[in-house]
């Protein structure tokens, strides 16, 4: 079950966000479309305040057990239908492992409930005959994702079920003018492996491609700079930072050579 918090006007916040995104998509299809800076400004209209969209701590019933991926700090109940003496309530340790008396250490971080159930069945079958296992999320830790790079306010976003990389960027103020929106780096953990991929969020903003990735706790979104943004840093570090005065148009750098 998912909960939607209403604002002062009585309309669900999620509905307002969807309406704003529809407005953005409509404006992007008019004529030749707005400039990149205008697109980023339009994205800001769809921003949902973090205190309304991201509760500090999720309840187990607020996540979809079919898609939610377990993360360190979660507390789970592992139940053996035909062997209740093996039932245990265990936390996911900081290293992502759980410890079961019948199955030993299992890397549970990054797995869904059904994936973990299959893994426990496989490991416990060495001792038990035809075990039937169910995993129930008893308590969720306070999870966050991190958004860094060329965004207005790099930092953490409270995780919620269904959070996408673009939504996370918007909650940190959106892209800057020098952001490389088509080469966003996305880092996540699947089981014991760290996986990275490049995302074209510019195509998503322009409506050319749907956003099909949903974030998991502790995921990272990093927005790199464009070539112009990197060039500006180089100028600041190697020209403006070394000269006693700021170069003016027509200023001959060779005149400074000794």
Convert the pLDDT of each residue in 190-224 to its tens digit: 766 788 899 999 999 888 888 888 898 889 999 99
**Whether pTM exceeds 0.75:** no
The CA-CA-CA angle for residues 22, 24, 29, to 5°, reads 95
Average pLDDT over residues 57-79: 83
Which residues, including other chains, have CB under 8 Å from residue 82's CB and lie 6 or more apart? Answer: 130, 131, 132
Helix ranges (DSSP H) in the chain: 13-28, 36-45, 50-53, 113-124, 165-171, 201-205, 227-235
User: 61: which 2 tokens?
Assistant: 């019933």
Convert the pLDDT of each residue in 115-163 to its tens digit: 999 999 999 999 999 999 999 999 888 888 999 999 999 999 988 888 9
**pLDDT greater at residue 6 or residue 179:** 179
Other Cβ atoms less than 10 A from the Cβ of 102: the count is 20
d(CA 83, CA 29): 60
The CA-CA-CA angle for residues 187, 218, 202, to 5°, reads 45
| Ranges of each domain in the chain | 13-57+143-231, 60-139
Query: How high is the pLDDT of residue 32?
Result: 43
Query: How high is the pLDDT of residue 162?
Result: 86
Q: What percent of the chain has pLDDT over 90?
A: 39
Which CATH code for domain 60-139? 3.30.1950.10
**pLDDT greater at residue 207 or residue 62:** 207
- pLDDT above 50: residue 47: no
**CATH second-level architecture of 13-57+143-231?**
Roll (3.10)
Q: What is the DSSP letter of 180?
A: -
Asked if residue 78 lies in contact with residue 100, where contact means CB atoms within 8 angstroms, the answer is yes
């Amino acid at each position: 079950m998912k909960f939607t918090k209403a604002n002062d006007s009585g309309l669900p916040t999620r509905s307002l966000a969807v309406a704003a995104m529809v407005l953005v998509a409509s404006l992007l299809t008019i004529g030749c479309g707005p400039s990149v800076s205008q697109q980023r400004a339009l994205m800001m209209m769809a921003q949902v305040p973090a205190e309304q969209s991201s509760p500090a701590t999720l309840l187990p019933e607020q996540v979809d057990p079919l898609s939610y991926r377990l993360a360190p700090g979660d507390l789970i109940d592992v139940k053996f239908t035909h062997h209740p003496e093996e039932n245990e309530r265990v936390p996911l340790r900081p290293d992502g492992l759980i410890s079961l008396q019948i199955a030993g250490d299992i890397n549970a971080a990054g797995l869904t409930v059904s994936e973990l159930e299959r893994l426990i069945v496989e490991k416990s079958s060495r001792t038990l005959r035809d075990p039937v296992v169910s995993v129930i999320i008893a308590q969720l830790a306070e999870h966050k994702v991190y958004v860094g790079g060329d965004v207005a306010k790099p930092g953490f976003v409270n995780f919620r079920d269904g959070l996408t990389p673009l939504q996370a960027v918007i909650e940190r103020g959106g892209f800057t003018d020098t952001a490389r929106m088509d080469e966003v780096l996305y880092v996540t953990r699947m089981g014991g492996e760290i996986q990275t991929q490049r995302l074209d969020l510019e195509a998503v903003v322009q409506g050319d491609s749907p956003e099909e990735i949903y974030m998991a706790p502790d995921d990272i979104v990093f927005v790199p700079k464009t070539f112009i943004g990197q060039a500006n840093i180089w100028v600041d570090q190697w020209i403006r930072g070394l000269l006693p005065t700021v170069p003016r148009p027509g200023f001959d750098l060779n005149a400074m050579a000794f």
